[in-house]
Amino acid sequence: MPLRLIFMGTPDFSVPMLTALADAGHEIAAVYTQPPRPAGRRGLELTKSPVHRAAETRGLKVRTPKSLKGAEEQEAFRALEADAAVVVAYGLLLPKAILEGTRLGCFNGHASLLPRWRGAAPIQRAIMAGDRETGMTIMKMDEGLDTGPVALEERVAIGPDMIAGELHDRMMGVGAGLMVEAMERLERGALTLTPQPQEGATYAKKISKEETRVDWTRTAPEVHNHIRGLSPFPGAWCEMPIGGKAERVKLLRSVVAEGAGEPGLVLDDALTIACGSGACGSGACGSGAVRLVEVQRAGGKPVDAENFLRGAKLAAGAKVG
């Protein structure tokens, strides 16, 4: 017999899971998502979340509380009399009363192989750390941060030049299939839960604006991982001397290349930039390089290096920072 579910999610990443659960025949009692946010150039338009829009197209009941801490919201949640709740990138803390507000509990789809990369930015952090593998995990939620027992997981390879956006899209599809399988097992009473190991836990903290700027004194693989881990959003960046002034340019794709020089030095006419050998001072401590493959000027569209250089005129010997 299909389950009666509450779905809780907000961004694009959550939508395939909502769609897959509904298509599998489960009853979606209500969809919880973040309230509409100001958008548009002037911030005057209120924009509904991707999950909100997807739910409305299916005629599902949508709730957008700013908090779940109040007794009234918690009672409204319990009154739905759901078998379980599915939580995917919702964005609000779930109090104990919510975690215990369904018959079978709350189940989270998390984009890492727990306990590695608990927290807000597991996809970006995995790439930035140079991980060669990650995956989707379905776990039963408890009061800790991504610490609940694991129900299912599926491993996903991270290619050497894969960017975060590509991994994000791959994980969306994997997560949808995995959550449907988990709910089918839960429905049959056959979902096994395994406590997470204590060792190997890491925290994927939210990406801050301060860390998006490229540090060219880092090694070439580290710079490459930094660029692809933040692409396309929020985007790694550096300043380039264009038209006699420093211009901020977003770096979207790169490859590790041969070359050496002072960190930040443009080595050729193909946008190959010298990197460092780790933390170093102002001396010429370069060892290795990255070649920028795709970049984006402020207010412009993403372009490949060849088209960028037609307008930027950034030649060998220039310095970026």
Binding site as annotated, residues for (6S)-5,6,7,8-tetrahydrofolate? 112-115
In 3D, which of 212, 214, 229 has the Cα closest to residue 273?
A: 214
Indicate the SS3 state at residue 86: strand
Give the CA angle between residues 167, 207, 54 to the nearest 5°.
Answer: 55
User: What are the CB-based long-range contacts (under 8 Å, 24+) for 84-87?
Assistant: 84/3, 84/5, 84/6, 84/183, 84/186, 85/5, 85/6, 85/7, 85/8, 86/5, 86/6, 86/7, 86/8, 86/9, 86/17, 86/21, 86/179, 86/183, 87/8, 87/9, 87/141
The alpha carbon dihedral of 204, 210, 214, 216 has a sign of: negative
Annotated binding site: 112-115
Show Cβ contacts of residue 292 under 8 Å, excluding neighbours closer than 6 positions: 251, 253, 254, 271, 272, 273, 305
Show Cβ contacts of residue 233 under 8 Å, excluding neighbours closer than 6 positions: 164, 165
Alpha-carbon span 123 to 170, nearest angstrom: 11
Indicate the SS3 state at residue 321: coil
Alpha-carbon span 34 to 78, nearest angstrom: 19
CA atoms within 13 A on the CB side of 137: 25
Q: Beta 203-204 vs 84-88: how paired, if at all?
A: unpaired
Give the CA angle between residues 168, 169, 170 to the nearest 5°.
Answer: 95
Show Cβ contacts of residue 23 under 8 Å, excluding neighbours closer than 6 positions: none
**Cα-flanking dihedrals φ and ψ of residue 118, to 5°?**
-70, 150
